[in-house]
Amino acid sequence: MAKPGTTGYLQDFPPPPAGAAQSAKLMREFAARHGAEGRRVVLVTSGGTKVPLESRTVRFLDNFSSGWRGAASAEHFLEAGYAVLFLHRHRSMSPYSRRYATLDWLDTLRLVPAEDFTSRVEAEQCLLPGIVPVLEQYQRVREQGTLLTVDFGTLSDYLHLLRAAAEALSPLGSSAMFYLAAAVSDFYIPASEMPEHKIESSSGPLQITMKMVPKMLSPLVKDWAPNAFVISFKLETDATILVPRARKALETYRHQVVVANVLDTRRSSVVMVTRDCETCLSISEAEAEAGVEIEEKIVKDLKFRHTNFIEQQ
């Protein structure tokens, strides 16, 4: 359980979203079941957070994150034997279906006349590249119950659910991993300062002051799940400040790894930054053509580091 005082981090935010208590229960049961079966459990956070400008929200700030990194990583963690708690932005990419996210489903289906003069629906397999192995993996994961998905919309929902997820995974100690790939807003408007109704455009240009979002990595590492293996992500657009910023985050929060990436090259290269080293992982053109994903390399690297971490406890 969280230590007294850590609830203060969320006091400026609206209350937990509807269904949060049920999600917390599902997450606790999921973690306990897989922990009892000796499986490692990873929390993968994914996608961007929505920051409302009004409490009856018409307008909000958002960011670029598609959730591809989180969804692809979740698949690779499942293949590597982890149970995955996938905390993701509503309608962002999901494991397995991400590959077909840009398809219009109606174009992939056709009607086939049936003997009783009705129609059956069949899929045009050629429009769904790789669907057989993808469906096999998806169905295996469903049968094994190794993937639990929970979604969030706003920054506030994300923060409440992150805390609940951390408390669910904490009893697993060092066999729990946190893989925090979501692009979480750094700024927000406190609930007490937010206008209730739609901001009037007739009042002229809009000026807003936003507060800094408290860094949840701090209570997560210190109080919520102090024995877990924790990985945060650092995104920059200027490659020259990437590794120094990642190092600063490691020094501040004292967690295990920062995966550092630059916006434009994030699909082909990342730097794994730890207290004593930096390891570049990249995908060559030939690998990209063969369908190798950078997330496969990230997960392989982290599984190895996680094993060492568990052994050192």
Binding site residues, ligand PAZ, CB under 6 A: 65-69, 181, 183-184, 233-235, 261, 266
CB closer to ligand PAZ, 184 vs 225: 184
CB of residue 234 to ligand PAZ, shortest distance in Å: 5
CB of residue 135 to ligand PAZ, shortest distance in Å: 23
Amino acid letter, residue 302: L
CB of residue 54 to ligand PAZ, shortest distance in Å: 24
The CA distance from 104 to 213, in Å, is: 37
CB closer to ligand PAZ, 13 vs 233: 233
CB of residue 261 to ligand PAZ, shortest distance in Å: 5
CB closer to ligand PAZ, 150 vs 181: 181
The CA distance from 14 to 155, in Å, is: 10
Amino acid letter, residue 211: K
CB closer to ligand PAZ, 68 vs 178: 68
The CA distance from 190 to 5, in Å, is: 19
State how far the alpha carbon of 88 is from the alpha carbons of 133, 162, 179, 240, in Å. Answer: 24, 10, 12, 30
CB of residue 278 to ligand PAZ, shortest distance in Å: 16
CB closer to ligand PAZ, 63 vs 174: 63
Residue 91 dihedral angles phi and psi, to the nearest 5°: 70, 15
CB of residue 47 to ligand PAZ, shortest distance in Å: 6
CB closer to ligand PAZ, 266 vs 305: 266
CB closer to ligand PAZ, 74 vs 134: 74
CB closer to ligand PAZ, 102 vs 312: 102
CB of residue 295 to ligand PAZ, shortest distance in Å: 9
CB of residue 4 to ligand PAZ, shortest distance in Å: 29
